[in-house]
Structure 1
Amino acid sequence: MVTTSPAPLSPAARALAARCEPRVNELARRMTRTVFERLHGYAELPADVRDVEITATARHGLRRFLRNAAGGEAPRPTEDGLRYFQERAHQRADEGMPLQLLLGTYTTGAHVLWQALTDAARPGEENALTELCGALIASQGRVIGAVTESYLDEQAAIAAERREQRRSLARALLEGRGTADAPAGPFLVVHLRFASRDLGGPGGVAVRRLVRRVQTALDRLFGTEVPALLNGTGGHALVPGRTELPDAATAVLREAAGQGLRLAATVAEETGDIPDAARVGTEIVRVATACGHTPGRHHLDDVLLEYHLSRPSAGSDRIAALLAPLADRPDLTATLRTHLEQRQDRRATARVLGLHPNSVDYRLARVTELTGLDLGTPKDAALALAALLLGSHSRSRYANWPGL
């Protein structure tokens, strides 16, 4: 794309700009002390920002435009000329000044300069005024673009730093490491598990979007910036000062994470209790998943027996090994699990699996033949359930969760 340099200004336009240049200090003071007061939020700015920094920026912009114009150049900002405004935009973003207020000072300032040029114009200088108006609009467009880009870049950097600080705090607390900036307990410890799907790798765009959506939902749900450690499969959120999930929590988080979301909430009274609370929440979700509970919020009471049966002990390996003969028969394992979930109702099992009841009978007979477990007895049914749960524990993606 070929760009052309703007045409030099006429002598009349140069003379008009030169007559206004001595008024730069006056115009800058008027802008910052009276005109900008009409902008919403301006009066709440610190006095040194209003009276010193913004005044200096206004003075710099006015003088640069008028001096260049008086020298005969079309006052189009160069990269060096824009750098001053970009640095000020970084400062304003760091201070938390709203972008609309910052841009309002530039657009209002341009209007004040246009009014000053209009007041200074003499009869017969209409064309000169039009030239300067065109130059002012072109210059203002470049300045506004550079200021906006720099402001948003700085805000993005600040937001990324704040997110990493929250992640670091959550990681430290989940690992049982106290930090000086950790809030006091109690904490609501929320374990989240997302539905398995291909998100294109741990650092992919889809994973970042998912984590960002869930983090935003957590912040909105609790009305604060919630420390959380999340990845593409799930994670934990730590909410200080809370002991209950809001009623809308499941719906809000499911909207962000998808219909397959599972979650469990536990309470840690002190920061040192957080790792144990996180482990319990993780186990509740794991057991509920292994037992075939539908996605959503899971409570310990929902899986109390299964939770107890799935606790590792001296006999855990031997119990889990009871189902070793089914390792290469996922159809039999699925039938066994569904049959136990359906309270050993063969017809209900057949409906869930889309099979004929006779096919269910055949598969269960093969389970008994291969494992030696008689599912018609309470003892062997309990052993089968425990073996399923212990087997899922050994395969759990959360078994080696960092810090848990």
Structure 2
Amino acid sequence: MDSLSPAARSLAARCEPRVNELARRMTRTVFEDLHGYAELPVDVRDVEITATARRGLRQFLRTAAGGEVLRPAADGGLRYFQERAHQRADEGMPLQLLLSTYTSGAHVLWQALTDAARPGEESALTELCGALIAAQGRVIAAVTESYLDEQAAIAAERGEQRRSLARALLEGTRKAEGWEGPVLVVHLRFAPRQSGGVAVRRLVRRVQTALDRVFGTEVPALLDGTGGHALVPGRTELPDAATAVLREAAGPGLRLAATVASGAADIPDAARVGEEIVRVARACGHAPGPHHLDDVLLEYHLSRPSAGSARIAALLDPLAGRPDLTATLRTHLEQRQDRRATARILGLHPNSVDYRLARITELTGLDLGTPRDAALALAALLLGSRQAN
């Protein structure tokens, strides 16, 4: 059916004079029963939503009176409702409340058509019911799409503002109000992975969502596919559930370290300390997870650059191209020079570990059995990892 019957057109025309009355009834009586409607600003309820209801009623009745059924409303009729949906999204009106006003409004209109129908107009009423359902479907689809588009744009803008704030604070180029007290600076390092841009964006979104959940607020963060930093003003330690929630979002290979800046000006230094803690823990072979300065205190000290750093790092140059020997040295030092523990971790026989250690001594001249040379080897590993990064 491409057009309405004369009887249906006549019924719609008889209801059009009631448009203002029906719109007021919707916004001042029917919508009041919708959850959250009473909390809307008065001007939104009594002016803007009333105008939208009046526009929708008049558009449907005039279109029906003209005999149209499924053809989209002329003169950009849907565009008006899309613009209102953008506005409601920008104001923060919940989508379910917005859509409820449309469905409730359609019910009010249906009741008005039923009341106006005369005996013998049952078929005309059925035609208008079908037309109303079709029109409502088009409007709700357009409204939902526009609302979600606007919400996505708002979220993207807010996210970019947070990233810009985090970048400026980490670079020390901005002083932000409300950041005078302590700031928890969380450094995160994700496990290496081969992935495209879509996977990286999903990872970053998951981690950002997890950060917001852990701290109960929108956390300024600067993240990419390798990790990054998050800044939480007024906090000095991670919540108990933080590691588990963030690991669920980022994967089991997540490493993180939390440091405290006394104020915004100290954020860059605190961020660098966090990066170094994670780097040293990783270079020492520590398992992924949360890392603390006390866990790598000696190693952190040994990894600080100095006038002799280059010469110390060069002690292991003879092991270049021998990752098996480097891995054995790192594991052996991490296991406090326990050859059996080293063998178990590397999947070797203890005699094979002894052979590799002897080969390391032969190539480098370092006797790992002496405290001095063991400390030099550890410092060389740490300084070498710094240069590699």
What corresponds to 1:189 in structure 2? Answer: 185
Q: Which of residues 365, 380, 385 is equivalent to 1:387?
A: 380
* 1:328 correspondence with 2:324: no
Answer yes or no: is the 8 Å Cα contact 2:313–2:383 preserved in 1.
Answer: yes
SS at 1:185's partner residue?
A: coil
Q: Which of residues 101, 104, 118 is equivalent to 2:97?
A: 101
1:272-304 per-position Cα deviation (integer Å, ceiling 9, x unaligned): 000000000000000000011111100100000
* 1:178 correspondence with 2:174: yes
Relative distance call for 1:261 and 1:345 in structure 2 (3 A) is same
Tell me the matched-pair count: 388
- The one-letter code of the counterpart of 1:141 is G
Q: Which of residues 247, 250, 257 is equivalent to 2:250?
A: 257
Answer yes or no: is the 8 Å Cα contact 2:168–2:174 preserved in 1.
Answer: yes
What corresponds to 1:399 in structure 2? Answer: none
SS at 2:3's partner residue?
A: coil
Structure 1: tracts of 5 or more residues without a match: 1-5, 397-404
Q: Which of residues 342, 347, 370 is equivalent to 2:340?
A: 347
Aligned-residue offset at 1:185 = 2.4
2-structure distance, mates of 1:86, 1:53: 14
Aligned-residue offset at 1:179 = 3.8
What corresponds to 2:54 in structure 1? Answer: 59
SS at 1:322's partner residue?
A: helix
- The one-letter code of the counterpart of 1:261 is L
Aligned-residue offset at 1:181 = 4.9
1:103-252 alignment to 2 at 5 Å?
A: 103-181=99-177, 183-200=179-196, 204-252=197-245
Answer yes or no: is the 8 Å Cα contact 1:65–1:75 preserved in 2.
Answer: no
2-structure distance, mates of 1:198, 1:74: 54
Aligned-residue offset at 1:183 = 3.2
What corresponds to 1:402 in structure 2? Answer: none
SS at 2:72's partner residue?
A: coil
Answer yes or no: is the 8 Å Cα contact 1:18–1:67 preserved in 2.
Answer: yes
SS at 2:238's partner residue?
A: coil
Aligned-residue offset at 1:184 = 3.0
Answer yes or no: is the 8 Å Cα contact 1:68–1:75 preserved in 2.
Answer: no
Q: Which of residues 41, 60, 63 is equivalent to 2:36?
A: 41
- The one-letter code of the counterpart of 1:47 is V
Q: Aligned Cα RMSD in Å?
A: 1.0
What corresponds to 1:275 in structure 2? Answer: 268
- The one-letter code of the counterpart of 2:260 is V
Aligned-residue offset at 1:382 = 0.4
SS at 1:323's partner residue?
A: helix
Relative distance call for 1:239 and 1:180 in structure 2 (3 A) is closer
SS at 1:72's partner residue?
A: coil
1-structure distance, mates of 2:305, 2:135: 71
Relative distance call for 1:199 and 1:181 in structure 2 (3 A) is farther
Relative distance call for 1:197 and 1:75 in structure 2 (3 A) is closer
Aligned-residue offset at 1:186 = 1.1
Identity of paired residues, percent? Answer: 87
Aligned-residue offset at 1:77 = 3.0
Relative distance call for 1:212 and 1:198 in structure 2 (3 A) is same
Answer yes or no: is the 8 Å Cα contact 1:76–1:138 preserved in 2.
Answer: no
- The one-letter code of the counterpart of 2:116 is A
Answer yes or no: is the 8 Å Cα contact 1:76–1:139 preserved in 2.
Answer: no
1-structure distance, mates of 2:69, 2:368: 90
